[in-house]
Amino acid sequence: MDRRSTKQKANGLHRQREKKLAGGDERPEPAVGVEAIPDAVLADIFELLPFEERRDTVPLVCKWWSRLTVSEPHIWKHCRWDGQERREDDDNSGEMSGTIDWPRVVEWFIARAEGVQTLQVSNFEFRFSPEVPTFSVLLALLCPSLRELRLVRCKMGRDSWMGLLCLQGLRRLDLLLNDRLMSWRSISHLSRLTNLDALHIEYVNRTFEYESDIPGPITVPFAQKLTTLRLKNFGDLKAIVPSWCFEKWRGMEMLDLCGTEVMSLTESISVLTNLAELHVWTQSKLPTEISRLTNLRMLSTRDTPSLGALCGMSRLRELEFNLNRAFESVEDLQVMSGLAMLTSLKFKWPGGYFPQELTGLSALRYLDLSDDSLSDLPSGPYLDNLTELDLSWNGFSQVPGVLWRASNLVRLSLAYNDELELGELAVDAILEMEDLLFLDIRFLEDKQWTQASFRNLVRLMEEKNDWLIVSADRTESIDEDEDF
């Protein structure tokens, strides 16, 4: 076939195709580029992006996308604002020492206020002009739509606290406070947020032993119909929870007073029949009426010498207690042995041994026995299903031989046992744990290993270097990161 006939055939096919298209026999394929995506769908995609990308990147791509970031309010349903990120570097030093362009901040929120439902504000100081009036203006702008507000490491003055009271539609409020003086009167004003469903106020970087800046005793004033209340790390506040509060909280699911000293809990707590999680550190025994909380899944308490109140909590899954004295009676231990569905136990007491009565808790997955002055472990079904075991800061001189039963362990800590030595049989047992992914044998810098233990350490490091942690710490303090 010559070139002329080939060209004629190609032209004929082209004319046939044009004819079919003109007659409607065949339709062109639709465009599949980003320009074919409807605005509403594209806005839904933008909503899934991290806030910084939505704010700083999307509007710069094209005019179409920039227009969408203003015309589609739900793109900004979840927002965050960090004072350290938004400061202008006045002296080009690279440090966050500059000022914030507050008019620009307000202008940005004015254009998007209709869609903001959840807002996190971090690292701002709302105590002086112009920050205080600007903060109040922002809250007033967001009042109709805002449902959840989280303030992280913000320094609050009295006037800025009062600005929160305009958010009458707010359902959840989280306040992570710096370790600074804050009047209880300012905090108690939050009881005026009548539609609040969840309230979380916590002092960061504090321990329970912290001496409170707020003179006690104080009365917890929150009469809203809360489902979640967390007042954490207020120290020796000597809080009093009145009976009328419990009556208002009948639908409560979580009460967390961890790190806040409570003088006592009244029997009125028994009305919280929906309560699933309770963290309380009280000066006195838990009331026996707590046994009526049959839906409780998690209980954390300390300085409670009698655990008879646990009777009847058959659904309890997680238990944490820190006793400063031994059990007063065998009945306490027998009550705990009946918690057959317990999967997590953090056990702190000065007894120096693991009670035999607890060895039958075969449902345990997590067991924390750190800093319990233990030198040995009993055998029992409690080891059979464990996936995480913490034996740090005890007096073990060798790896407990009963760990052969804990064949499902994923994480094991033997850190900071000063007398610990590693025998060859112990290393064999550890290496046979097929599921083990994390082993911690940290030790203090002045620890002296025997020659045999050192050889076994080297063997572990050679064979399981991917999950073995062996290191020397210079001090006895350990930094632990906690997820807020």
Question: Residue 92's pLDDT band (boundaries 50, 70, 90)?
Answer: very low
Question: Residue 2's pLDDT band (boundaries 50, 70, 90)?
Answer: low
Residue 200 predicted with pLDDT over 90: yes
Mean pLDDT of the chain: 80
pLDDT, average across residues 205-213: 55
Question: Residue 7's pLDDT band (boundaries 50, 70, 90)?
Answer: very low
Residue 25 predicted with pLDDT over 70: no
Question: Residue 383's pLDDT band (boundaries 50, 70, 90)?
Answer: very high
Residue 289 predicted with pLDDT over 50: yes
Residue 65 predicted with pLDDT over 50: yes
Residue 312 predicted with pLDDT over 80: no
pLDDT, average across residues 145-169: 84
Q: What is the pLDDT of residues 317-338, one digit of tens each?
A: 999 887 665 555 556 677 777 7
User: Of all residues in the chain, what percent carry a pLDDT higher than 90?
Assistant: 25
Distance CA 261, CA 225 (A): 23
135 or 170, higher pLDDT: 170
Q: What is the pLDDT of residues 94-115, one digit of tens each?
A: 444 456 777 888 888 888 888 8
What's residue 177's pLDDT?
83
- CATH architecture of the domain with residue range 205-330: Alpha-Beta Horseshoe (3.80)
244 or 2, higher pLDDT: 244
Q: What is the pLDDT of residues 226-282, one digit of tens each?
A: 999 999 988 877 888 888 999 999 999 999 998 888 887 888 898 999 999 999 887
Question: Residue 291's pLDDT band (boundaries 50, 70, 90)?
Answer: confident
Residue 221 predicted with pLDDT over 80: yes
Q: Name the residue among 289, 269, 281, 277 with its Cα closest to residue 253.
A: 277
What's residue 256's pLDDT?
94
479 or 251, higher pLDDT: 251
- CATH architecture of the domain with residue range 343-484: Alpha-Beta Horseshoe (3.80)
User: Of all residues in the chain, what percent carry a pLDDT higher than 70?
Assistant: 78
306 or 451, higher pLDDT: 451
What's residue 484's pLDDT?
29
3-state secondary structure the chain: CCHHHHHHHHHHHHHHHHHHHHHCCCCCCCCCCHHHCCHHHHHHHHHCCCHHHHHHCHHHHCHHHHHHHHHCHHHHCEEEEEHHHHCCCCCCCCCCCCCCCHHHHHHHHHCCHHHCCEEEEECCEECCCCHHHHHHHHHHHHCCCCCEEEEECCEECHHHHHHHHHCCCCCEEEEEECCCCCCHHHHHHHHHCCCCCEEEEEECCCCCCCCCCCCCCEECCCCCCCCEEEEECCEEEEEECCHHHHHHCCCCCEEEEEEEEEEECCHHHHHCCCCCEEEEEECCCCCHHHHHCCCCCEEEEECCCCCHHHCCCCCCCEEEEECCCCCCCHHHHHHHHCCCCCCEEEEECCCCCCCHHHCCCCCCCEEECCCCCCCCCCCCHHHCCCCEEECCCCCCCECCHHHHHCCCCCEEECCCCCCCECCHHHHHHHHCCCCCCEEECCEECCCCCCHHHHHHHHHHHHHCCCCEECCEECCCCCCCCCCC
pLDDT, average across residues 132-141: 77
Residue 74 predicted with pLDDT over 90: no
What are the residues whose beta carbons fall under 8 Å from the beta carbon of 269, sequence distance 6 or more? 241, 246, 287, 289, 290, 293
182 or 4, higher pLDDT: 182
Q: How many CA atoms lie within 13 A of 376 on its CB side?
A: 5
* β partners of residue 260: 235
Q: What is the pLDDT of residues 361-374, one digit of tens each?
A: 999 999 999 998 89
Identify which of 67-76, 84-93, 94-103 has the greatest average pLDDT. Answer: 67-76
Question: Residue 468's pLDDT band (boundaries 50, 70, 90)?
Answer: low
In the chain, where the domains are located = 205-330, 343-484
